[in-house]
Structure formats: structure tokens, C-alpha cells
């Protein structure tokens, strides 16, 4: 006699809680995964954008640096005291060159070589070139060029990696008398280390480096790598082609970095600023862990409530499952979709899930606001500024750029502390927002620098608006009764450039002129100094 096997019966009170629990967990998991991916992508893009901005600013600094080098050497080459002392008084000539080195922040040594390549004088005296005649490729090429010259990095007879800049010497009759040259010792403390070394960073987080036009390292966090050929790096190859941009890249050491890079048009050098991907992922993972911990208790509460409701009614869960599935697919679901139900338990669950959907919608809106707003001042951030410019550029609309910088802001921070500095930044942001017309875009560009975009404004209108803001800030009540002033540079698109980079550079140059001419003023781009 065959006895039929007894089938296991599963209670609906067990099946329904299991299904509801699985649905909630899947929904939360998918949403967390999507949020994780979006946050990681956003951080990657923002990091590369910031690195590109830093590299571009460093490139501008390098151009200013070499312009100053050339002016310093050119002034020395035209110094009549050198020609007067050349034949008669070598001690006086040495004094002149010692003063030249002491007054110049650019070089590790300076020297004069006559037209035959003989070194006449060198400073400092302790760094005598050996031998007394120029024999290296860089120095002989500079001597033969008879014009402004900047060498590629080369090894000197003393074993140093050197970059040489030179200017020719001609007397009043046009006769060539050799060159005055300055050298930068790349492996020692030099002008590049003094400018960029304070924010050098570390290879586990962020750091910058400089390459020449041939792909050799001129400046690096690790001084032992100076002179190394890194031309195989894809970013360096693009810099060698004169490009600027941002990219995720594996460096020559096999490490993964988010990179922003900019070329220096004056000398063909390239600036690279990069942040390790691992450091970004560490931040994202910490945020994810914090979020999971904060969600654990609410999820557990929701599961218990769902299990209790499932013992009483099953039918409403079909509709509830469809709605949560829509949320898992990334669709926006209004809390109104969770309609009231005649059954009290089903109605309560609908209310809870509706509240959860509303909370998620608010969180999504909050994240969107955080992605486009500077948290301190409430102004738009740089990313939102770029989005606005993209929209205006697509329409071909003209606009004015007001670039504003708080004068002596570092002194405020150093004297009264960063909390006072933050109050000053908020004050400036509030004054700007009060002064500009509707439709203007006010953005915190970085640090104490702000940008205002005025759509379809003439230079006269933009200049008046800049002066109105400057005067309003000047008379504003400030912490500790500080005298607060700003300098402003104004440019127009397309009058001052066919693209936003040129227009912003024109405004930036006008701002620097305002700083140089005494601060607390507005300078319009294109006006002669």
C-alpha cells in the first residue's frame, strides 16, 4: 500500500512577509547601488574638473614665471655697467652678478659667457662651472642661437639636472658679446619647488608634476624622478601635442589616477594635477557604510510592520509590489500613488511606503541642490556655472563676466580666524545677490573668488553693475568693523574671446590689473593700462 507523501504547506502569513521583505530589500539595494554609482561618477567628474582648474591656474603661473625670468635676464643683458666693467674690473663684475642673483628669485645660479664660450663670471662663486668653457649641448646651443633661449633639461658636467634660460648681449654698435644665463637646478630647492611645493600632496592622495616639451619630468614630489622620461604616459603625450583636458589614467608606476592637465604655450611645458582613484573610493565607501548603518533600524522596523500586516491581508500587496518595482527601476513615484485602502493594515503600509517615497524624492532633490550649490554661501557652484554657460553657448547669447576677488582675504583669516572669513564670504555673497538683476548667475568660483554672469549686457551696463557691487560691499557692516574691499575684472562674450576660456581669461587678467593698480577698483578687459 502506497502512502502518499505529505506535502509541506506554507502559511500565507509566512509567504507574504517573505515576499514583502524581499521586495523592500531589493528596492533598497537597487536604490543604494544606483546612488553609489551616481555619487562615484559625480565625485570622479568633480575631482577631474577641479584638477583641470588647478592645472590651468598653475600653467598661468608658469607663464608669468618665465615672463619674469626673461625680463630679469634681458634687463641684466642691457645693463651698461656690465659692459663697462667687463674689461677692467672683474671684482666689480662679480659684485654685479652677485647682486643680480640675490635680487632675482628665479635662478639657482647666473653667469656670463662671452662669444667664444668662455665663462667670464658666475654667481654664486662656490658653484663654479667646470670646465671654464661651455661644452654641454644646452649651453652651446644657447650661445649659438644669439636670441632668447630656454633649454630642455640636461645634465651638467657636475651631474645636476639643469634647465637654462639665456638672453644675448649686444653692445651699442650691435656687436655680439655672448650671453647672460640663469640656471635652475631641478633636483634642488628652486623656484618651482617654492611655488608648487607648499601644496605638493602625496602619491596616495593628490599631487602635481611638471614635464617639458619632450616628456621629461621637471618637477615631481619625488625629486629622484626629476629628469625621468615619462613620454609613454598618455596624458604626457597629449601635453606634448599642446592639449589640455582631463582624463582617468594609469601612470607610469601603474597607479590609477583622475587627472587634469594643461599645457604652457610659452615654453611647451605641461602641468599635471592628479588624484588617486583609491582615495576617492575610500570616501565613497565610508559614505555608503554610514548610510547603511543609518538605514538598518528603519529597514528592520519596516520589515516587522510588513510581516504583521501580511498575516491579515494579501490583496493590496500586488499593487504595492508594482509601485516598489517602479522605484527600484529608478522611476519617480508620488506619495499619492499609495492610495488609502479600506483595510486598516493595508492602509497603514501604504502610508508608510508613501512617506518613504516622499523622503526619497526629497533626498534626490536635496542631492541635486547640493550638486549645484556652494554649501557656505548658497550661491551656485562651479559645476552649475558651467551648465549655465553650456546653455547660453548653445543659444549663442552674448554675456558679461564679472570676476570678483576679496582684497587681502588671507589677512582676514590669519587675523580673525576662518569663522570670520566665512562670515565675510557670506556677506559678499549676500551683497552680490541683492545687487544683481533677475536672471543673473552668481557663483562662488573658488576660495575668495566669485563670478557673476550677466546675460545680454553691454560693457557699460556690466561696469556699472560691478561698481554698484563694489561700493555696496565697501559700505557694508562687517565683523569687527573690518574695511572690506573687492577688486573686479569685467569681460564680454564674444567681444573678448570666441570661447568661454578666452573670455574668463580676459576677466581674470582685468582682475589682476585691478589688484596690481591698488585694489578696490573695477577694470574692464581690453582697456589699455
pLDDT digits (tens, 9 = 90+) for 388-431: 888 888 888 899 999 999 999 999 999 999 999 999 999 999 99
pLDDT tens-digit map of 7-19: 665 655 566 667 6
Q: Choose among 78, 118, 114: nearest CA to 96.
A: 78
Residue 18 has a CB neighbour count (10 Å cut-off) of: 14
C-alpha distances in Å from residue 513, one per residue of 245, 447, 508, 518, 525: 27, 19, 9, 9, 9
pLDDT recorded at residue 318: 63
What is the biggest distance separating any 2 CA atoms in the chain, rounded to whole angstroms?
132
Residue 31 pLDDT exceeds 80: no
Classified as helix, coil or strand, 201 is strand
pLDDT band at residue 484 using 50, 70 and 90 as cut-offs: very high
Residue 77 pLDDT exceeds 90: no
pLDDT tens-digit map of 335-379: 566 666 666 666 666 667 666 666 665 655 555 555 568 888 889
Which tops the pLDDT comparison, 48 or 80? 48
Q: For the ranges 76-85, 409-418, 509-518, which has the lowest average pLDDT?
A: 76-85
* CB-based contact 109:160 (threshold 8 Å): no
pLDDT recorded at residue 454: 92
pLDDT recorded at residue 203: 56
DSSP annotation of 398 reads -
Classified as helix, coil or strand, 493 is strand
The Cα angle at residue 126 between residues 105 and 191, in degrees rounded to 5: 20
pLDDT tens-digit map of 240-287: 888 999 888 887 777 888 899 999 887 788 889 888 888 887 777 777
488: CB partners within 8 A, 6+ apart: 402, 403, 404, 405, 466, 469, 470, 511, 514, 521, 522, 523
What is the model's pTM? 0.47
Average pLDDT, the chain: 80
pLDDT recorded at residue 519: 94
pLDDT recorded at residue 178: 84
HSE value, Cβ hemisphere, 13 Å, CA-based, for 515 = 14
Q: Read off the C-alpha cell for 93.
A: 663684475
pLDDT recorded at residue 422: 92
pLDDT recorded at residue 38: 81
217-219 and 206-211 beta bridge pairing: antiparallel
Residue 211 has a CB neighbour count (10 Å cut-off) of: 28
Mean pLDDT of 438-461: 90
pLDDT recorded at residue 130: 46
Q: Is 134 exposed, middle or buried (0-12, 13-18, 19+ CB in 10 A)?
A: buried
Amino acid at each position: 500500500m502506497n502512502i502518499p507523501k505529505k506535502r509541506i504547506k506554507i502559511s500565507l502569513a509566512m509567504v507574504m512577509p517573505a515576499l514583502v521583505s524581499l521586495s523592500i530589500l531589493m528596492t533598497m539595494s537597487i536604490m543604494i547601488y544606483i546612488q553609489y554609482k551616481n555619487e562615484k561618477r559625480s565625485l570622479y567628474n568633480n575631482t577631474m574638473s577641479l584638477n583641470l582648474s588647478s592645472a590651468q591656474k598653475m600653467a598661468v603661473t608658469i607663464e608669468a614665471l618665465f615672463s619674469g625670468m626673461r625680463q630679469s635676464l634681458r634687463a641684466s643683458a642691457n645693463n651698461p655697467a656690465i659692459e663697462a666693467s667687463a674689461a677692467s674690473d672683474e671684482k666689480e663684475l662679480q659684485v654685479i652678478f652677485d647682486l643680480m642673483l640675490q635680487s632675482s628669485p628665479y635662478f639657482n645660479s647666473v653667469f656670463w659667457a662671452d662669444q667664444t664660450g668662455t665663462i667670464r663670471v658666475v654667481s654664486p662663486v662656490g658653484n663654479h662651472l667646470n670646465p671654464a668653457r661651455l661644452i654641454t649641448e644646452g649651453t652651446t646651443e644657447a650661445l649659438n642661437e644669439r636670441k632668447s633661449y630656454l633649454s630642455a633639461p640636461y645634465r651638467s658636467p657636475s651631474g645636476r639636472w639643469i634647465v637654462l634660460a639665456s638672453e644675448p648681449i649686444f653692445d651699442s654698435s650691435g656687436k655680439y658679446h655672448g650671453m647672460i644665463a640663469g640656471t635652475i637646478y631641478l633636483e634642488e630647492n628652486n623656484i618651482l619647488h617654492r611655488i608648487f611645493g607648499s601644496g605638493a600632496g602625496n602619491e596616495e592622495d593628490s599631487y602635481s608634476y611638471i614635464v617639458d616639451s619632450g616628456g621629461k619630468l621637471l618637477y615631481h614630489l619625488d625629486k629622484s624622478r626629476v629628469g625621468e622620461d615619462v613620454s609613454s604616459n598618455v596624458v604626457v603625450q597629449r601635453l606634448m601635442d599642446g592639449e589640455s583636458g582631463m582624463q582617468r589614467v594609469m601612470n607610469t608606476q601603474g597607479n590609477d589616477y583622475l587627472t587634469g592637465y594643461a599645457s604652457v604655450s610659452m615654453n611647451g611645458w605641461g602641468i599635471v594635477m592628479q588624484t588617486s582613484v583609491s582615495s576617492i573610493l575610500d570616501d565613497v565607501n565610508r559614505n555608503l557604510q554610514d548610510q547603511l548603518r543609518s538605514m538598518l533600524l528603519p529597514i528592520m522596523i519596516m520589515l516587522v510592520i510588513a510581516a504583521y500586516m501580511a498575516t491579515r491581508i494579501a490583496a493590496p500587496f500586488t499593487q504595492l509590489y508594482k509601485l516598489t518595482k517602479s522605484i527600484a527601476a529608478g522611476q519617480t513615484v508620488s506619495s499619492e500613488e499609495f492610495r488609502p485602502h479600506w483595510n486598516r493594515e493595508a492602509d497603514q503600509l501604504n502610508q508608510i511606503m508613501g512617506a518613504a517615497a516622499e523622503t526619497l524624492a526629497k533626498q534626490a532633490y536635496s542631492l541635486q541642490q547640493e550638486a549645484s550649490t556652494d554649501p557656505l554661501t548658497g550661491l551656485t557652484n562651479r559645476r552649475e556655472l558651467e551648465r549655465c554657460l553650456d546653455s547660453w553657448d548653445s543659444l549663442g547669447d552674448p554675456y558679461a563676466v564679472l570676476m570678483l576677488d576679496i582684497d587681502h582675504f588671507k589677512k582676514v583669516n590669519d587675523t580673525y580666524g576662518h569663522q570670520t572669513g566665512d562670515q565675510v564670504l557670506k556677506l559678499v555673497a549676500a551683497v552680490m545677490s541683492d545687487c544683481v538683476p533677475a536672471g543673473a548667475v552668481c557663483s562662488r568660483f573658488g576660495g575668495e573668488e566669485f563670478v557673476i554672469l550677466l546675460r545680454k549686457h553691454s560693457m557699460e551696463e556690466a561696469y556699472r553693475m560691478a561698481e554698484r557691487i563694489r561700493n555696496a560691499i565697501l559700505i557694508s557692516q562687517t565683523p569687527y568693523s573690518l574695511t572690506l574691499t573687492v577688486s573686479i575684472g569685467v569681460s564680454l562674450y564674444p567681444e573678448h574671446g570666441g570661447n568661454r576660456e578666452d573670455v574668463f581669461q580676459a576677466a581674470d587678467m582685468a582682475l589682476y590689473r585691478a589688484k596690481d593698480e591698488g585694489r578696490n577698483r573695477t577694470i574692464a578687459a581690453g582697456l589699455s593700462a
